[in-house]
């Protein structure tokens, strides 16, 4: 916590003795309150204090208590007011000589001036800890760049009970919308796929409304079956409007009940029930989008209106298969991906001109290429699907995203990939996937600052999706900004303390930064089930730290598995590097290029290749991929 006495310098210039009396009185009021809330005064800074607390909750309670005491004191007749501004942040610090240092201290000092006279401002991490524990309101401030602080930090103001209400400075408006997962109230629980698919279809329709920013499905899906209030959801997603409702499907009959709610006032902007036949579902989607645009006073441009009104398919069986494919895809499991491919294939078989099904199938295949499917076999099929989808609908943001991804992953055609991603974003600024994959392209070609900006945009559109936050860490790791990478990784570790993956990532950063003791600590905390890529990273980290047993076990397991299924040869090469088998590593990379998989583009910045990064054969591989060499600082 940083405190500051507002106006002290100016008051001292007018009447130094009076100003010093107020300063002394302020100290007599606040110092006992620090102790009462288990705070430790670190030091006095001019007319303010730096204080450390054992919890975010105690710090916030102390801040409110301070202002309560000052408000009572200032209300006395004839008193010259004493007003403080207080800033609170949560993070790790280093103690030296009775003082504390670190990014957390710097960030708290930058937050304090935003509070204003008699105010309190807290950071996002503090808000996460206290929002359900403190009987107070919170107002999110407009995004503010904190001086010399690169880590993006949300800032909240804590309005106090005696304050005169003022209009919120929050950027949240009614034109920032979340579509909550529609509840399935059908007689058959298996019809849940229809409610989930319709939710995603509505999100896609709303994305076509000019001026409306729509939260992506990854974040809203986390509220399926939630008991949280709309106020809490609105705060967590940073939205001004929420659409919620239910779907009942019985045979070919549909009943869709919806309501659009303004978060701050809790007022229903509109509510409607639709009793229709199944083949009217597209007309219902159009009506909902148009009704919402009108209610939010947004412009539904002619092209958008035409796009929303266009039926994606006339075959309801194909449409059902497509919705089942979406439902399976969003489970984010290997089994779900396999099922989604089958459903999308069924939809296309029923209606070969179903552009959306072609785009979704192409994007799913690209997602699996290099993981469970061989790129050399998968990309040609995906390319045919993308070409067909674009022929059928040249203005499909999803199809252009897939086209950009093909240029990125299949051809390493960075220029074409950038053109396609930018086209996808121009068609749908709320397309979080397009922003994310554009950031991946920028990361690969080492335009790191631009990659960070795209990832921040992705987080704005999909605030609860963990992946873009994770890749913010990776980008800082890749460009050598270890302090920022560590700060972000520690924040994620505190958010998900039981996740082995974040310990692996943090250990890798420490290892590249040369902080081996800290790397060993994180490696020891990384045990537990993880996905294949995290497993590879853990084996690499432990191998670099002197324990190559996991790397050897994983190498043998994957080499045996490669007899019957695809295995990423670039990952095998990384294991050989860690085991000191450089020639075998290059044999794997040579074979990767000969087969046409070229998987190295994705993983070349990882820790596994640090010891051969300067090797002419490794740099020649990067040159063939069109990647700048000597990109990763190595200590």
pLDDT reported for residue 163: 67
pLDDT reported for residue 189: 85
Q: In the listed set 96, 127, 157, which residue is the last one of a domain according to the structure?
A: 157
83 located within any domain: yes
Instruction: Indicate which CATH number applies to the domain containing 272.
Output: 3.40.50.10070
pLDDT reported for residue 132: 67
Q: What is the dihedral of CA 99, 105, 111, 112, to 10 degrees?
A: -10
Q: In the listed set 157, 186, 206, which residue is the last one of a domain according to the structure?
A: 157
pLDDT band at 634 (very low <50, low <70, confident <90, very high): very low
> Does pLDDT of 372 surpass 90?
no
> Does pLDDT of 632 surpass 50?
no
Instruction: Average the pLDDT over each of 105-119, 148-162, 598-612 and give the range with the smallest value.
Output: 148-162
**Same structural domain, 185 and 62:** no
303 located within any domain: yes
- Work out the angle between the directed axes of helices 582-595 and 569-578 (0-180°, nearest 10): 170
**Same structural domain, 124 and 20:** yes
**Same structural domain, 134 and 221:** no
> Does pLDDT of 305 surpass 70?
no
Instruction: Average the pLDDT over each of 149-163, 211-225, 252-266, 502-516 and give the range with the smallest value.
Output: 149-163
**Same structural domain, 215 and 122:** no
Closest Cα partner for 138 from 63, 26, 51, 35? 63
Q: In the listed set 290, 311, 332, which residue is the last one of a domain according to the structure?
A: 311
pLDDT tens digit string along 43-82?
Answer: 998 889 999 999 999 999 999 999 999 988 888 887 788 9
- Bridge partners of 256, per DSSP, are 247, 274
pLDDT band at 147 (very low <50, low <70, confident <90, very high): low
> Does pLDDT of 29 surpass 70?
yes
Question: How many folded domains does the chain comprise?
Answer: 3
80 located within any domain: yes
Burial of 193 (0-12, 13-18, 19+ CB in 10 A): buried
pLDDT reported for residue 423: 95
User: What is the span of the domain harbouring residue 24?
Assistant: 2-157
Cα separation, 514 vs 597, whole angstroms: 33
pLDDT reported for residue 286: 80
pLDDT tens digit string along 79-93?
Answer: 788 989 999 999 888
pLDDT band at 616 (very low <50, low <70, confident <90, very high): very high
Structure tokens at 18: 């009076």
**Same structural domain, 98 and 22:** yes
602 located within any domain: yes
**Same structural domain, 242 and 181:** yes
Residue range 459-487: mean pLDDT, rounded: 89
pLDDT band at 621 (very low <50, low <70, confident <90, very high): very high
**Same structural domain, 45 and 77:** yes
**Same structural domain, 17 and 138:** yes
568 located within any domain: yes
pLDDT reported for residue 509: 95
Higher-pLDDT residue of 133 and 565 is 565
CA-based R_g, the chain, Å: 28
**Same structural domain, 133 and 263:** no
> Does pLDDT of 151 surpass 90?
no
**Same structural domain, 537 and 613:** yes
Instruction: Indicate which CATH number applies to the domain containing 13.
Output: 3.30.70.1230
> Does pLDDT of 355 surpass 60?
yes
pLDDT band at 630 (very low <50, low <70, confident <90, very high): low
**Same structural domain, 153 and 180:** no
379 located within any domain: no
> Does pLDDT of 633 surpass 50?
no
Closest Cα partner for 247 from 303, 311, 188, 204? 188
Question: Average pLDDT over the chain, rounded to whole?
Answer: 87
Closest Cα partner for 421 from 431, 383, 412, 411? 431
pLDDT tens digit string along 417-443?
Answer: 999 999 999 988 889 999 999 999 999
Alpha carbon separation from 319 to 203, 326, 392, 409, 441 (Å, rounded) = 17, 11, 16, 29, 33
Percent of the chain with pLDDT over 70: 93
Residue range 118-146: mean pLDDT, rounded: 80
**Same structural domain, 142 and 190:** no
455 located within any domain: no
Residue range 466-493: mean pLDDT, rounded: 89
> Does pLDDT of 269 surpass 90?
no
257 located within any domain: yes
């Amino acid at each position: 916590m940083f405190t500051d006495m507002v106006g002290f310098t100016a008051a001292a210039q007018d009447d130094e003795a009076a100003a010093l009396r107020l300063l002394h009185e302020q100290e007599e009021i606040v110092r006992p309150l620090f102790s009462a809330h288990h705070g430790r005064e670190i030091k006095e800074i001019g007319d303010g204090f730096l204080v450390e607390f054992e919890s975010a909750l105690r710090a916030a309670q102390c801040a409110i208590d301070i202002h309560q005491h000052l408000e009572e004191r200032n209300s006395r007749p004839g008193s010259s007011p004493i007003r403080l501004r207080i800033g609170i942040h949560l993070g790790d610090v280093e103690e030296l000589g009775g003082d504390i240092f670190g990014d957390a201290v710097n960030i708290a000092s930058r937050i304090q001036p935003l509070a204003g006279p008699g105010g309190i401002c807290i950071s996002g991490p503090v808000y996460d800890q206290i929002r359900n524990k403190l009987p107070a309101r919170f107002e999110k401030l407009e995004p503010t760049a904190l001086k010399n602080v690169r880590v993006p930090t949300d800032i909240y103001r804590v309005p106090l009970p005696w304050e005169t209400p003022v209009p919120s400075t929050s950027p949240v408006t009614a034109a920032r919308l979340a579509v909550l997962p529609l509840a399935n109230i059908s007689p058959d629980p298996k019809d849940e796929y229809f409610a989930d698919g319709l939710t995603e279809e509505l999100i896609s329709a709303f994305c076509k409304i000019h001026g409306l920013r729509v939260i992506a499905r990854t974040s809203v899906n986390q509220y399926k079956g939630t008991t949280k209030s709309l106020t809490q959801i609105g705060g967590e997603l940073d939205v001004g409007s929420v659409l919620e409702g239910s779907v009942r499907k019985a045979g070919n009959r549909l009943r869709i009940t919806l309501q659009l709610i303004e978060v701050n006032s809790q007022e229903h902007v509109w509510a409607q029930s639709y009793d229709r036949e199944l083949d009217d579902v597209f007309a219902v989607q159009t009506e909902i989008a148009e009704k919402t645009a009108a209610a939010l006073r947004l412009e539904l441009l002619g092209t958008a209106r035409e796009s929303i009104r266009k039926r994606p398919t006339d075959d309801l069986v194909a449409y059902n298969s497509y919705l089942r494919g979406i439902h399976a895809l969003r489970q984010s499991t290997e089994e779900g991906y396999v099922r989604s491919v089958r459903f999308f294939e069924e939809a296309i078989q029923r209606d070969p001109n179903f552009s959306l099904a072609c785009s979704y199938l192409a994007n799913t295949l690209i997602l699996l290429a290099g993981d469970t499917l061989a790129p050399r076999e998968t990309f040609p099929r995906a390319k045919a699907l993308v070409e067909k989808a674009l022929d059928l609908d040249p203005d499909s943001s999803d199809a252009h995203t897939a086209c950009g991804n093909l240029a990125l992953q299949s051809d390493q055609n960075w220029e074409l990939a950038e053109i396609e991603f930018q086209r996808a974003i121009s068609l749908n600024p709320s397309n979080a996937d397009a922003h994310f994959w554009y950031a991946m392209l920028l990361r690969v070609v080492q335009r790191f600052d631009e990659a960070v900006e795209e990832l921040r945009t992705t987080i704005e559109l999909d605030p609860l999706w963990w992946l873009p936050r994770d890749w913010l860490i990776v980008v800082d790791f890749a460009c050598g900004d270890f302090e920022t990478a560590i700060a972000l990784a520690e924040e994620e570790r505190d958010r998900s303390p039981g996740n082995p993956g974040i310990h692996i990532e943090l250990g890798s950063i420490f290892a590249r930064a040369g902080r081996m003791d800290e790397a060993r600590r994180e490696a020891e905390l990384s045990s537990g089930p993880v996905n294949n890529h995290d497993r590879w990273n853990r084996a690499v980290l432990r191998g670099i730290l002197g324990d190559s047993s996991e790397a050897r076990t994983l190498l043998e397991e994957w080499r045996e598995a490669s007899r019957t299924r695809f295995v990423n040869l670039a990952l095998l090469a990384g294991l050989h590097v860690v085991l000191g088998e450089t020639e075998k590593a290059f044999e794997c990379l040579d074979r990767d290029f000969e087969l046409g998989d070229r998987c190295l583009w994705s993983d070349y910045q990882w820790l596994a290749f640090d010891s051969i990064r300067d090797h002419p054969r490794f740099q020649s591989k990067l040159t063939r991929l069109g990647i700048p060499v000597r990109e990763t600082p190595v200590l």
